[in-house]
Amino acid sequence: MKQFKFQNKASVIRGIKEEKPRKRKNWDRLIYLAIFILLLLSLFVYILRKNLYAYSLGEVITERFEVTRPDDIQVINYFVQENDTVKAGDTLFAYRNDKDGVFVGAGGAGRTFTFNNMVIDKPNEWVIKERANTKKTISLKAIEAREYESSYKTIMSEIEKLKMEVHLDVTSPAVLSDKRAQAGQIKVYEEKVRSEISFLYQYLKQLDEFETEYRNYQKSISSGPGGVNGSEYDDKLYYITPVSGIITKISRPAFEISYRQEIILLISNLDKVFIRAYIEQNDLPYFAQGDLVDIRFMDGAQSKGRITEFYVNTEEVPEEFRKIRGKNQRNVVATVIPLNNEEQNTWRNYYKFTAQITRLKFF
């Protein structure tokens, strides 16, 4: 039988050494992860800002000066146009008084004058007496306003103490509410008195204008009827503006009658620029008179201001400041002024622009 001889040597298996494959970066996963992280951060920042800050929208406006006359007049010629810049002392227009309304009677020496539909027999004496009485009333009203202001500050300091006591459950919240109502009532009284003072100052201006008109008319008739040259408009008077600003509106065209106390034109006083802020009622606890606030204009510019006053009564919010367009909304109105002249110059460039008012809730 044939023998088989097997090979006793160990077999050698040869293989090819494969290179370790490179790990591919999953860019899609990285992009999705980055977007997810950004969304989380945005949500976190939004929640943080929503809970840390109180916001309000407002409009940059200026103090508006209304040019009126105490009697009916006819403007003969305007020396300015809308959007013109004027300075205090500039002549705005020429006019003449309505002969049937202001100057009553015929002749020169026996002519009488009317002021707010009241016939004045001796204008010079009447103006002196009326001006003295008005200034005395203003002084008394100013003392009354300061007393209200002092009472308001005292009550506000008491409210700050009551807030802490309510927080510690030492005092009932009803006591705090009553105190706030009392402060609001005093503020209403103070604003009413200050409005009366403002009206009295306006009345003094009318007295000055009436006196000027009387003197100018006396000069115009001293050379006889029709003036020196006998011109139709030789008896015309001139209105000189007491404030500087921009002519924002001319309400009456030339040669049209402007009736007593009717607005002839409006002047925006750029020396007194401020923000009229509309604060939502639920955010009112986070804003107080005298607070320093951050201002952000719609182009991204930053500024700072200070709240000077609140209006107690709520006002209807303009359409552009409402959360839901077309739905009525009433907010509390506050006045925010610039901190210094530099900020004021910046605010002038944003006249009639929208601004965002921000304040920390807890500091």
* Mean of per-residue pLDDT scores for the chain: 78
pLDDT in tens, 297-353: 988 888 999 998 888 677 787 877 777 766 778 888 889 999 888 888 888 888 788
Q: What is the C-alpha separation between 278 and 344, in angstroms, rounded?
A: 20
Establish how many alpha carbons lie within 13 A of residue 193's alpha carbon, considering only the half-sphere containing its beta carbon: 18
Please report the pLDDT score of residue 101 as a whole number: 42
CA angle at 198 for the pair 314 and 90, rounded to the nearest 5°:
115
**Which of the four pLDDT bands, split at 50, 70 and 90, describes residue 295?**
very high
> 343 burial class (0-12, 13-18, 19+ CB within 10 angstroms)?
middle
Phi, psi of 314 (to 5 degrees): -75, 155
For the chain, the straight-line distance linking the first and the last C-alpha, in angstroms and rounded, comes to 110
**Which of the four pLDDT bands, split at 50, 70 and 90, describes residue 5?**
low
pLDDT in tens, 299-308: 888 899 999 8
- Give start and end residues of each alpha helix (H) in the chain: 27-52, 123-167, 173-221, 341-348
pLDDT in tens, 258-285: 887 788 888 887 778 889 888 888 888 8
Rounded average pLDDT over 182-190: 86
Q: Of 92, 97, 91, which is closest to residue 73 (Cα–Cα)?
A: 97
- Domain 54-62+270-360 CATH superfamily: Efflux pump adaptor protein, beta barrel domain (2.40.30.170)
Of residues 215 and 247, the one with the higher pLDDT is 247
Q: Is the dihedral of CA 36, 37, 42, 46 positive or negative?
A: positive
Mapped onto helix, strand or coil, the DSSP state of residue 190 is helix
pTM of the model: 0.46
pLDDT in tens, 135-164: 889 989 899 989 988 888 888 888 888 888
Domain ranges of the chain: 54-62+270-360, 70-263
111 token code pair: 């002519």
Q: What is the C-alpha separation between 362 and 358, in angstroms, rounded?
A: 12
**Which of the four pLDDT bands, split at 50, 70 and 90, describes residue 117?**
low
> 57 burial class (0-12, 13-18, 19+ CB within 10 angstroms)?
buried
